[in-house]
Amino acid sequence: MATGRATLDFGPWPGTSQASIQMYGQIGIQVTSFVSASISLWSATADHSIDEHRIEQLKITAGNISPGTGFSVYGECLNSLAFGKYTVDWVWA
């Protein structure tokens, strides 16, 4: 199992409704591995406080596994455009 934290960037104001980031360097990951990601409730960014991480309506998913290489984390703002950076936690097993 591997875990980590990454920064998902929706860009400068006014932002966008979708963002993604690739998690490279995951040598042991396989097509059959379970991947998951969620908004971090413990780590603020320069753009957003922990409270903003908690209340923003972001859908975070993970997928698109590349065996021996990594996977992708996707973010989608459900109520409008998001801007700036948010912290996400991820895990695969």
**Confidence band (pLDDT; 50, 70, 90) for 70?**
very high
Give the amino acid at 76: E
Query: pLDDT tens digits, residue range 6-53?
Result: 999 999 999 999 999 999 999 999 999 999 999 999 999 999 999 999
- Provide the pLDDT for residue 27: 96
pTM of the model: 0.92
CA separation for the pair 53, 23 (Å, rounded): 21
Retrieve residue 68's tokens: 């021996």
| Residue 23: CB atoms within 10 Å | 22
Rounded to an integer, the average pLDDT of 73-84 is 95
Retrieve residue 91's tokens: 């895990």
Q: Torsions phi, psi of 72, nearest 5? A: -115, 150
CA separation for the pair 41, 74 (Å, rounded): 17
Answer whether 73's CB lies under 8 Å from 8's CB. yes
Which domains are delineated in the chain?
2-92 (2.60.40.2080)
Answer whether 63's CB lies under 8 Å from 74's CB. yes
